[in-house]
Structure 1
Amino acid sequence: MVRERDAVLVNAFRHSTPYVNHHRGSTFVIMVGGEAIADEHFNDMVADIALLQSLGIRLVLVFGARPQIDNALAQAGIRSRFHKRIRVTDSDSFRIIKQVCGGLQLEITSRLSMGLVNTPMQGARLNVVSGNFVTAQPIGVDDGIDYCHSGKVRRVDSDGIRRQLDQQAIVLVSPVGFSVTGESFSVNAEEIAAQVAIHLGADKLISFCSQQGIIHQNGQVVSELFPEQAEEYLWALEKQGDDSSGTARYLRAAIASCRGGVPRSHLVSYKEDGALLQELFTRDGIGTQIVRQSAEQARSASIDDIGGILDLIRPLEEEGILVRRSREQLEMEIDHFSIIERDGLVIGCAALYPFPEESMAEMACVAIHPDYRSSSRGDRLVAKIEEHARRQGIHKLFVLTTRSIHWFRERGFEPVEVSDLPVTKQKLYNYQRRSKILLKNI
């Protein structure tokens, strides 16, 4: 029997490889709330976390226990009390909280340590380490409310965590912190996750909530937010009285971590099986990123971008849409190129070749990745090329194209003749290719 090639699998693997290379050696802090631990997909999430570790990603796992604590307190006949979204932890409550957190710590450790039977990571040996990595201090009294055994982060033993990560261990951090006086305190898990990520200089903070991320009014997932924009969503949740939801808590941690220097914080759904992997190893992800700067940048190209540019333009060259360029030619002309980069991948490029003696320039090698052609990336590239041209005193921009005539005309380019080109370009015009010439005054 002849087996058919699985084109979807091959394509997905090829597209995920750049992210595998990019993430290797990175440090991720993953916040897993009690809601995620209780969900039916938690075992699959554990398998995905083990997969990340096997790919050379350094992992710190911070867990929460809010629903488990609420249930345990209710069963013990103890009413949960909160003030300003923080649990008031008296001695009776704290005794229950320590039992719950200790039990969850053992449960998570066992799931990560048992070889992950019946999962894709069966047979993997994971070293899980816990310890007093977080030093806490009491919150004290606020508005006449004594928080008792509720605390806040005072210090993170980042050196101790790094030593364990250097030994390929997964560091597991519970929501119970220890003080320099030998006391222990219940600490908000989201606060711990944010502070650990900041003190470690982590590359990412990843949190799980019930939704795919932040949902816009139109029902679409918001893929990227700056901290200021995330605050607006947080204020909206607070106005709705939803300020204690998982999404609101994780948003606060994401905003704090980004402002503390963590480049990206991700919100993904624990209800979507495989959401963690899709967020990290696909170009557009599945959840929401809170970022210090956009994952997508338009910038001048450098010698390191040649491989990405070649990958982008080769299919268009093979179709005859673009004139073929060798790697050597690109190396010599790289200073003429501008690119759009997304997560380290080149998804758009264009080149500017000036003819300063006639105040004209050619825009050439305009290419956008097929997945992004329905968006405004092409307009961004044209705008960037026009900006570069103006800075060089260029007043007219022309293009030679065989397939994209209408696209350029929609952007203000008008058809002209070969005689309207700079003299040196006229001599190089390929009459066999018969490219259309379009020009725009800038």
Structure 2
Amino acid sequence: MNLVFPHTFVPLFRAVAPHIHAYHGKTFVVGMAGELIAAGKLNAFAQDLAILHAMGIKLVLVHGFRPQVNEQLQAKGHPSRFSHGKRITDAVALDCAQEAAGQLRFEIEAAFSQGLPNTPMANATVRVVSGNFLTARPVGIVDGVDFMHSGVVRKVDAITIRRAIDIGALVLLSPFGFSPTGEAFNLTMEEVATSTAVALQADKLLFMTETAGIREDLHDPESAIDTELALADARRLLAGLPDATLPTDPAFYLQYCVKACEGGVERSHILPFSVDGALLMEVFTHDGIGTMVVDEKLESLREAGPDDVAGIVQLIEPFERDGTLVKRSRTEIERDVSCYSIIEHDGVIFGCAALYPYPEARTAEMAALTISPQVQSQGDGERILKHIEHRAKGMGLESIFVLTTRTMHWFIKRGFQQVDPNWLPDARKRKYNWDRRSLVLVKRLS
């Protein structure tokens, strides 16, 4: 039995709470590769979706069915044919796709039925609604290849889908669309999910895929995952990649993420279904687990304003209690807020520092340098330091100094040198606490 002890649960829950608040009432479109179901991960994934639903997130789930259709075709001794990353859907393949879609919809609806018994989400009711929400047209003939019954999305019935999710239902979409004359077309999960997210102007589009995300070095399969790509960077990366023909190709899901962001979806994600709880980790943790494409970087380093006071107070309070920082009143922070620089990610402040100039001595004090424990050792401290140095240079100052009792080695590694407290400007020397015996470290600005 796994136990969550109070001393670990409370900090964890506090860290997650801002995300819960931020996403309540938001709309997520989730594209689920058929490989997830083939790998036996549907029930666990349904639990995670039920958790999001219970937190007030509006959900549209689009399922894929590549391996299931391939299996049906193999059982009939019929080849699976693809071109340009799409299935060539002849009459036999269309029949197999319809059969696979029906079976998968049954399995997915069953996974959400009966309150998910014997799971952490027991008694959570998730009503699943599905229907003919998609109008499609044929792909036609491309480069001499007749795609027959394969289609592309022509229109999404966003109004009806919105009504369903607004009353608390989860909308389930299969990759099928119909022409106005009733002809059925086989679509791709990725296109359906992207078109639906754009039509709904969803807050997130999340692909649960066979891939871990976009790696920082595309030639090294062991390199780290790039957890956040600005849309402009994603476009440049995509332009340099070969056309994607397989879902495991780096460009395959990335092209849909870029299309979604260009269509007004704030964030699109590529996540590995092989990692248990990947969806929850991506939504409720600072850096997530996969790759997120955003119209602009969610993390920003900027000068603080009045609306940031509460976030700064919350960030520095734990360090004041343990004696790392000198205690500052809220009134003092409100008065001096223009002196602060902050790092925020998705509206949450994770780092700060203040700059108090002493122009007559051509120097300034950097105070209250704080980085949240959640993101320490990721270089944010150095980023703030460089920003503070830039601000000081802009004031025409020649140096910055800090007073510290516990972090002298961090500053010394970054070019600070220890000096006698009598070096301090007279105005600062009068406020120096000789009982605290803080070390004074100075860095010259080149």
TM-score of the superposed pair, with normalisation by structure 2? 0.90
Counterpart of 2:417? Answer: 414
Greater alpha carbon shift after TM alignment, 19-28 vs 213-222? 213-222
SS at match of 2:115: coil
Counterpart of 2:112? Answer: 112
Q: Is the Cα–Cα contact under 8 Å of residues 198 and 262 in structure 1 kept in the other structure?
A: yes
Counterpart of 1:360? Answer: 363
Counterpart of 1:221? Answer: 225
SS at match of 2:368: strand
Q: Indicate the RMSD between aligned Cα atoms, in angstroms.
A: 2.5
Counterpart of 2:175? Answer: 175
Partner AA of 2:364 in structure 1 = A
Partner AA of 1:424 in structure 2 = A
Deviations 1:18-43 (A, max 9, x none): 22112211111100111112222210
**CA distance, structure 2, for counterparts of residue 278 and residue 260 of structure 1:** 25
Partner AA of 1:225 in structure 2 = L
Deviation at 1:198, TM superposition (A): 1.8
Deviations 1:329-387 (A, max 9, x none): 22222111111123333221100112334433221111112343323211100111122
SS at match of 1:351: strand
Give the number of aligned pairs. 439
**CA distance, structure 2, for counterparts of residue 264 and residue 4 of structure 1:** 32
Counterpart of 1:317? Answer: 320
Cα 1:79–1:379 shift into 2, 3 Å: same
Determine which of 279, 282, 287 is the counterpart of 1:284: 287
Deviation at 1:186, TM superposition (A): 0.9
**CA distance, structure 2, for counterparts of residue 75 and residue 361 of structure 1:** 76
Deviation at 1:229, TM superposition (A): 5.1
Counterpart of 2:94? Answer: 94
Q: Is the Cα–Cα contact under 8 Å of residues 214 and 222 in structure 1 kept in the other structure?
A: yes
Q: Is the Cα–Cα contact under 8 Å of residues 210 and 248 in structure 2 kept in the other structure?
A: no
**CA distance, structure 1, for counterparts of residue 183 and residue 86 of structure 2:** 19
Deviations 1:230-281 (A, max 9, x none): 5677689858x87343765333322322333322222222222222112222
**CA distance, structure 1, for counterparts of residue 123 and residue 380 of structure 2:** 45
Counterpart of 1:57? Answer: 57
Determine which of 349, 352, 360 is the counterpart of 1:346: 349
**CA distance, structure 2, for counterparts of residue 228 and residue 70 of structure 1:** 36
**CA distance, structure 2, for counterparts of residue 41 and residue 90 of structure 1:** 30
Cα 1:38–1:232 shift into 2, 3 Å: farther
**CA distance, structure 2, for counterparts of residue 318 and residue 59 of structure 1:** 41
Partner AA of 1:297 in structure 2 = S
Structure 2: unaligned runs, 5 residues or longer: none
Matched, 1:71 2:71: yes
**CA distance, structure 1, for counterparts of residue 206 and residue 366 of structure 2:** 41
Deviations 1:288-331 (A, max 9, x none): 22233333221222333333322321222122221101222222
**CA distance, structure 2, for counterparts of residue 4 and residue 16 of structure 1:** 15
Equivalent pairs: percent with the same residue?
Answer: 43
TM-score of the superposed pair, with normalisation by structure 1? 0.91
Structure 1: unaligned runs, 5 residues or longer: none
Deviations 1:198-233 (A, max 9, x none): 222211111112343334524433322334655677
Cα 1:258–1:334 shift into 2, 3 Å: same
**CA distance, structure 2, for counterparts of residue 93 and residue 406 of structure 1:** 66
Greater alpha carbon shift after TM alignment, 409-418 vs 335-344? 409-418
Deviation at 1:185, TM superposition (A): 1.1
Deviation at 1:157, TM superposition (A): 2.2
**CA distance, structure 1, for counterparts of residue 156 and residue 396 of structure 2:** 54
Counterpart of 1:272? Answer: 275
**CA distance, structure 1, for counterparts of residue 237 and residue 209 of structure 2:** 15
Matched, 1:11 2:15: no
* 1:132-171 superposed matches below 5 A: 132-171=132-171
Q: Is the Cα–Cα contact under 8 Å of residues 25 and 56 in structure 1 kept in the other structure?
A: yes
Deviation at 1:152, TM superposition (A): 0.8
Deviation at 1:99, TM superposition (A): 2.2
Counterpart of 1:210? Answer: 210
